Amino acid sequence: MNKKEKESWVIHLFFGITSLLMILPLLLVLIASLTDEQSILANGYSFFPEKFSLDAYHYLFILDPGVIFRSYGVTIIVTVVGTIVSLLLTAMLAYPLSRTTLPFRNAFAFFVFFTLLFNGGLVSWYLVYARFIDLRDTVWALIIPGLLLNGFNVLIMRTFFTTTIPPTMIEAAHIDGAGEARIFAQFVVPLSKPVFATIGLFNTIAYWNDWYNSLVFLSRAKFFSLQYMLNMSLLNIQFLSQNSQNTNAASLMQSTPQETMRMAMAIIGIGPILLAYPFFQKYFVKGLTIGAIKG
């Protein structure tokens, strides 16, 4: 074995172990969701359970499908709609900021940048969406607050546009008689696939994983997102077991979902987002930068 081969072995081993560290916990959750409730209680989690059972999935999909499917639908719709609208808005704000000819360009850019440093805090944020624009108990509460437009994403996009779209090309298009909208739609967007893919993925994940908006703005179960359901089933159990000295809280423990069910919910929640990764993968190869020159 020469030196080069040795080195590549070390590298392979390192990344192999790293991947395992990522995959094993996921696998454990999957196996736990397929384990019989009694054997989890008796032996804890294990990669090789005594007894397999499909009870948790059976319960989720067959005995009580309404709740899960509903929140699943809500999450999917919100993710798709939110991602598309959010991408569009981000691009439409970032592109003008990247153009040197925009009047007050720096003032606008500062306006975006400022939101990264300061915010009004939770209460004022809530007040705006609850009292001035009443989004409570509407599906918009899951799409707009905190997710629709993210200053950081705008700055990433702006940087991309300034560094990869040659101003000369825009000038040439102008001379050939294309208007601003056409330049944006037919020249800039096709050339910027990598950044759209990246920001798209960020948004997709942010929407898919969001539970906080459900917590804050929804008081009825109508639009609860999948992640909120999962989160609450965990938090409720945590809360009740902390207060288990209180007999009343203890009596509520019996009605909370069981270990295997929570694991099954987690697995169901991961599903579609795993499929989204390969779709975006090919665009990442090109790489992205915020500041320095890309190699």
Partner 1 sequence: MKKRYISTLFASMMMVSLALSACSGNTNNSPDNTGAAQGNNPDETAGGLKPYHLVMAFPGSTPKDLDAVNEAMSKYLQEKINATIELRPIDWGAWNDKTNLMFASQEPFDVIWTSSWQGLGQQVAKGQIIPVDDLINSYGKDIKQIIDPEVVEGGKINGKIYGVVTNKEFASTRGIVMRKDLVEKYGIDTSTLKELKDFTPVFEKIKAGEAGMTPIEAEANNSPLTQMLQYDGLGDGPGGVVRGTTDLKVVNMVATPEYMDLAKLMNEWYKAGFINKDAPTRNDGVANAVKAGKAFSYAVSMKPGIELQESRNTGMPMVAVELTQPFMTTGDTTSSMLAIPTTSSDPERAMMFINLLYTDKYLINLLNWGIEGTHYTKVSDNIIDYPQGVTSANSGYNLNQSWMFGNQMNTYLWKQEDPDLWSKYKTFNESAEKSPALGFVFAPDSVKNEITAVNNVSQQFSPVIVTGAVDPAVTIPDYLKKLEAAGVDKIIAEKQRQLDEWAKTNK
Beta-carbon contacts of residue 236 (< 8 Å; ≥ 6 apart): 256
Residue 167 DSSP SS3: helix
Count of residues of this chain found to bind partner 1 when the rule CB under 8 A is applied? 50
Q: Rule CB under 8 A: is residue 236 a binding residue for partner 1?
A: yes
Q: Binding partner 1 by CB under 8 A: which of 114, 277, 279, 284?
A: 114
How far is the C-alpha of 114 from the C-alpha of 77, rounded, in Å? 31
Q: Rule CB under 8 A: is residue 124 a binding residue for partner 1?
A: yes
| Least distance (Å) between residue 250 CB and partner 1 | 7
Q: Exposure pattern of 169-189 as b/e (b: 16+ CB <10 Å)?
A: ebeebeeeebeeeebbeebbe
238-277: which residues touch partner 1 (CB under 8 A)? Answer: 238-248, 250-255
Q: Rule CB under 8 A: is residue 47 a binding residue for partner 1?
A: no
Please identify, among the stretches 57-65, 81-89, 199-207, 267-275, the one whose residues bind partner 1 according to the rule CB under 8 A: 57-65
Q: Binding partner 1 by CB under 8 A: which of 10, 13, 20, 42?
A: 42
Are 269 and 230 spatial neighbours (Cβ–Cβ below 8 Å)? Answer: yes
| Least distance (Å) between residue 284 CB and partner 1 | 35
Q: Which residues partner with 52 through β-bridges? A: 35
Please identify, among the stretches 89-97, 123-131, 170-178, 188-196, the one whose residues bind partner 1 according to the rule CB under 8 A: 123-131
How far is the C-alpha of 167 from the C-alpha of 110, rounded, in Å? 22
Q: Rule CB under 8 A: is residue 67 a binding residue for partner 1?
A: yes
Q: Rule CB under 8 A: is residue 216 a binding residue for partner 1?
A: yes
Are 94 and 154 spatial neighbours (Cβ–Cβ below 8 Å)? Answer: yes
Q: Rule CB under 8 A: is residue 123 a binding residue for partner 1?
A: yes
Cβ distance to partner 1 smaller for residue 138 or 236: 236
Q: Binding partner 1 by CB under 8 A: which of 8, 46, 106, 186?
A: 106
Length of the chain: 295
Three-class DSSP labels, 92-147: HHHHHHHCCCCCCHHHHHHHHHHHHHCCCHHHHHHHHHHHHCCCCCCCHHHHCCCC
| Least distance (Å) between residue 176 CB and partner 1 | 34
Please identify, among the stretches 24-32, 73-81, 181-189, 212-220, the one whose residues bind partner 1 according to the rule CB under 8 A: 212-220
How far is the C-alpha of 213 from the C-alpha of 291, rounded, in Å? 32
Q: Rule CB under 8 A: is residue 101 a binding residue for partner 1?
A: no
| Least distance (Å) between residue 241 CB and partner 1 | 5
Tokens 């499908």 locate to 65
| Least distance (Å) between residue 98 CB and partner 1 | 19
Among 89, 101, 94, residue whose Cα is nearest residue 167: 101
Q: Which residues bind partner 1 (CB under 8 A)?
A: 38, 41-42, 59, 63-64, 66-67, 106-107, 110, 114, 118, 120-124, 126-127, 130-131, 134, 215-216, 219-221, 231-232, 234-236, 238-248, 250-255
